[in-house]
Chains A and B, each alone.
Chain A
Amino acid sequence: MTPRIAVQEAPFDLAAETARLTAGRQDVGGLASFVGLCRADDGLAAMVLEHYPGMTERAIARIAEEAADRWPLLGLTVIHRVGRLEPGAPIVLVLTASAHRTAALESCAFLIDWLKTGAPFWKREEFEGGAERWVEAKAADDAAAARWKPA
Chain B
Amino acid sequence: MRILYFAWVKQRVGVAEEELSPPPEVRDVAGLIDWLAVRSPGHAEAFANRKTIRAAVNQDFAGPDHPVAVGDEVAFFPPVTGG
Contact = CB atoms under 8 A, between A and B. Distances in A.
Interface in A6-47: 36
B23 interface: no
Interface residues of B, number: 16
Tier of interface size on chain A: 20 to 34
B59 A136 contact: no
Nearest to A111: B83
A58 interface: yes
A118 B75 CA distance: 15
Given A36-B83, A134-B7, A134-B8, A55 B59 contact: yes
A54 B80 CA distance: 15
Contacts, number: 70
Nearest to B83: A116
A112 B8 CA distance: 24
A112 to B, nearest CB: 6
A120 B8 contact: no
Given A112-B83, A115-B83, A120-B6, A137 B78 contact: yes
B59 to A, nearest CB: 4
B56 A121 contact: no
B78 A122 contact: yes
Contacts of A119: 80, 82-83
B49 interface: no
A149 to B, nearest CB: 15
Contact of A136 (B61, B75, B81): B81
Interface of A: 36, 49-52, 54-55, 58, 80, 91-92, 112, 115-124, 134-137, 141
Interface of B: 4, 6-8, 56, 59-61, 75, 77-83
29 contacts: A36-B83, A50-B6, A50-B7, A51-B6, A54-B59, A55-B59, A55-B75, A58-B60, A80-B83, A91-B83, A92-B83, A116-B81, A116-B82, A116-B83, A118-B61, A119-B80, A119-B83, A120-B75, A120-B82, A121-B82, A122-B77, A122-B80, A122-B81, A122-B82, A123-B81, A124-B7, A134-B8, A137-B78, A137-B80
